[in-house]
Amino acid sequence: MKSEAEWQLVLVLWGTKYGVTEVSQLLETIEHHSSRPFRTVLITDRPRKDLPDRILQREFPEFYCKEEMRTSGCLAKLAMFEGGVVPQDLPAIYVDIDTVILGDLSKLLSIFTAENSVFMLKGAMIPIGAIGRCLWRMTKKRRYARGNSSVVIYHPKATAYIADQFKELFVVNSRDNFRPLWADDRFISWVAQEQLRVIPRNLAVKFPAEFMLPWAWLIYLRAALPWTKVRWKNLLVVTLPGVEVNGQDLLALPDGSSIKDRRGRRLIWSRKAIGPMKKKLTDYYSALDAREEESKQ
């Protein structure tokens, strides 16, 4: 395999929620599966001395270091679009640190056919695509399709306008009165609505949206469907919300037990309910636990 990078992995690390151990395991998993060489860019609030030298560390520009950028909404994440932060020579795939990689992440680039496109996971009810764009135009940008920014595919040389418009609008608007400023994924979706595309569910999913439902009977029914089994078997990326469904906390759940999130969606921790994902998550977070214990010694 060629050693020259063909794409870039972008990560964001701020504060102490995630540490060197999580970043290292995520990176090594991606390297293990990837069929195409890549460059890793870590946008960080401070130099991380214990990370491998092959990671290109870039500190957050001063504008993104404001306190309100680090609270709910994760607006600091928009620094990934800031000109000069991520090199502009290659397409980029951003993933949250609390992401489990199950296959070749570079395969996501097969859907990235236009440099000005921005791909995100499915978010709110309004579908990403023609319907969302039409609604965005008809309502003069008040209503629009929203993606989820746990995974974002973009090209840095074609998306600097996202950061430019964010900085301009953040200065003159209150977050309370301008909804696109409530969260990074809201703003990306709003400003890039014309270029917004959805990452197919057979490639990447948000764990609660894919594996959690309010009713147990529906959870078991969906897991038994043959096309669901095929899709789950071939998933490349599963991203978890670290607060409500913490990957390492799953290891402590007894087999067959269940938990609910704030939306009333239920997770049943069994193979019957979530198929091979139970073992894959157990293996990943068991390895992470072992790694953290080793680092303490």
pTM of the shown model: 0.93
CA 6: distance to chain centroid? 20
Non-local CB neighbours of 147 within 8 Å, separated by 6+ positions: 120, 121, 122, 123, 128, 185, 188, 189, 196, 198
Give me the residue label for tokens 């000005």: 116
Q: What distances in angstroms separate CA 119 from CA 3, 90, 116, 139, 198, one per listed residue?
A: 26, 15, 10, 23, 5
pLDDT per residue of the chain (297 residues) written in tens, 0 to 9:
345 999 999 999 988 788 888 999 999 999 999 999 999 999 999 999 889 889 999 999 999 988 888 776 789 999 999 999 999 999 999 999 989 999 999 999 999 999 999 999 998 789 899 999 999 999 998 999 999 999 999 999 999 999 999 999 998 887 778 889 999 999 999 999 999 999 999 999 999 889 999 999 999 999 999 999 999 999 999 998 755 677 778 888 999 999 888 888 999 999 999 999 999 999 999 998 888 777 776
Element (H, E) at 149: strand 147-154
- On whether the CB atoms of residues 266 and 212 are closer than 8 A, the answer is yes
Name the DSSP class of 213: B
Which H helix or E strand runs over 273?
Answer: helix 271-274
**Would you state the pLDDT for residue 70?**
75
pLDDT, position 242: 59
What domains can you pick out in the chain, each with its CATH number?
7-198 (3.90.550.10), 204-296 (no CATH)
**Tokens (6 digits) for 160:** 């600097």
Determine the pLDDT at residue 39: 97
CB 42 within 8 Å of CB 72? no
What is the predicted pLDDT for the residue at 2? 47
CA distance 58 to 265: 38
Q: What is the DSSP letter of 157?
A: G
- Extract the tokens encoding 58: 């870039």
State the Cα–Cα distance between residues 81 and 155, nearest whole angstrom: 9
Residues in the chain: 297
- The C-alpha atoms of residue 89 and residue 7 are separated, in whole angstroms, by 9
Token output for 33: 């599966």
Rounded CA gap, 85 and 94, in Å?
A: 13
Contacts of 34 (CB under 8 A, 6+ apart): 104, 105, 106
